[in-house]
Structure 1
Amino acid sequence: MKKVGLIYGSDTGMTEEVTHTIVDLIDVDIEVIEASVVSINDFSRFDQLILGLSTWYDGDLQSDWENFYDDFKTIDFTNKTVALFGLGDQYGYGEYFIDGVGMLAEVIIKNGGKIIGKWSTDTYDFTESKAKIENEDLFYGLAIDEDNQPELTQERLEKWIGEIEPLFN
């Protein structure tokens, strides 16, 4: 079994909490790295990755991911499998809901990576999202809304992990 790198950024601690829940639920060997200390070399150590972040304000990346974004755009994702999860507020920021997931996904795809764990948009009420796959009712990754739907987080995580876990073995 290969080791999976889980890289996340968290300003308020919510993404960190979701990360810990993922680590507790998934049955794969995971190395967790905070985006505040990640390097390009960390990405080269893994063929399989889980990336997590929140979206801030008017579609901005979480601060640690924003600081690393120029370097992130240079990473070669060829032969890498990547699952994404994002936190956002679908009502307060409905026109930017989990945009960070879409911003990272765009780079991963452009740089040769394969994205797994796409997630239905059905149970969300948002206006726009860079994370929504064009002409599909799917996000590039799991959408978590702790502001408006915290009661659905555990169920969503369990279902999403059930979908991605077999792909990491």
Structure 2
Amino acid sequence: MAKIGIFFGTDTGRTRLVAKQIAKKLGEAAAAPVNIGRTTLVEFLAYDRLIVGSPTLGDGMLPGESTGLSQPSWEEFLPQLADADLTGKTFAIFGLGDQKKYPDEFVDAIGILHDAFVARGATVIGRWPVAGYDFSASKAVDRDEFLGLAIDQHHQAMQTEARIDAWLARITPALQP
């Protein structure tokens, strides 16, 4: 499959909107974004190049039924990858969070997804600087960078489009076939 797969988990729909924005900017290079709770492992693994996104809920959790969602999401999907070999697959991760309300778990989902993919042999690209954010802690930080694109639609929505554009400029060459 030549296109870039885009998969997202969501609670309020904000992550879906960002996924759609990313897909629109990538144009023909990307497949239509898919809610991770509405896909199969076979469909997910059909892509060699993926952009995945998730909000961080509550105390640093992935979205899923235990967080109050009425449908499955990343929490239910990740265990399906337990025996998957992701060697040769390239992932870029984006995450949504609220740095003021949850400063100790800001975009933790990026770190959780990153670790799950890397543990199964994937290459993860798309680190993003922590400069310009105001938070206390995050599982998504390695030294002075996030392990993916951090987005705060609550307090920095006006910066989202420019951040997406800059991030895509960085990762798109590595996502080419």
Q: TM range, normalised to the smaller chain?
A: over 0.9
Code of the aligned partner of 2:158? E
2:98 pairs with 1:89? yes
Q: Percent identity?
A: 37
Determine which of 47, 56, 66 is the counterpart of 2:75: 66
Structure 2 alignment gaps of length 5 or more: 65-72
1:63-95, Cα deviation, whole Å (9 max, x unpaired): 211122211343321000000000000111010
Counterpart for residue 23 of structure 1: 23
Asked whether the equivalents of residues 132 and 138 of structure 1 are also in contact (C-alpha less than 8 Å), the reply is yes
Counterpart for residue 151 of structure 1: 158
Counterpart for residue 116 of structure 1: 125
Code of the aligned partner of 1:117? G
Counterpart for residue 4 of structure 2: 4
Give, in whole Å, the separation in 2 of the partners of 1:75 and 1:39. Answer: 13
Q: Which has the higher strand share?
A: 1
Q: Provide the aligned C-alpha RMSD in A.
A: 1.4
TM-score, with normalisation over the residues of structure 2? 0.89
Asked whether the equivalents of residues 3 and 31 of structure 1 are also in contact (C-alpha less than 8 Å), the reply is no
Shift in Å, 1:108: 0.9
Give, in whole Å, the separation in 2 of the partners of 1:68 and 1:124. Answer: 29
Q: How does 1:43-54 map to 2 (within 5 A)?
A: 43-54=44-55
Counterpart for residue 137 of structure 1: 144
Determine which of 81, 85, 88 is the counterpart of 1:76: 85
Aligned length: 167
Counterpart for residue 43 of structure 2: 42
Code of the aligned partner of 1:36? G
TM-score, with normalisation over the residues of structure 1? 0.94
Asked whether the equivalents of residues 2 and 168 of structure 1 are also in contact (C-alpha less than 8 Å), the reply is no
2:172 pairs with 1:165? yes
Considering Cα pairs closer than 8 Å and 6+ residues apart, tell me whether 1 or 2 has the greater RCO.
1
Asked whether the equivalents of residues 23 and 32 of structure 2 are also in contact (C-alpha less than 8 Å), the reply is no
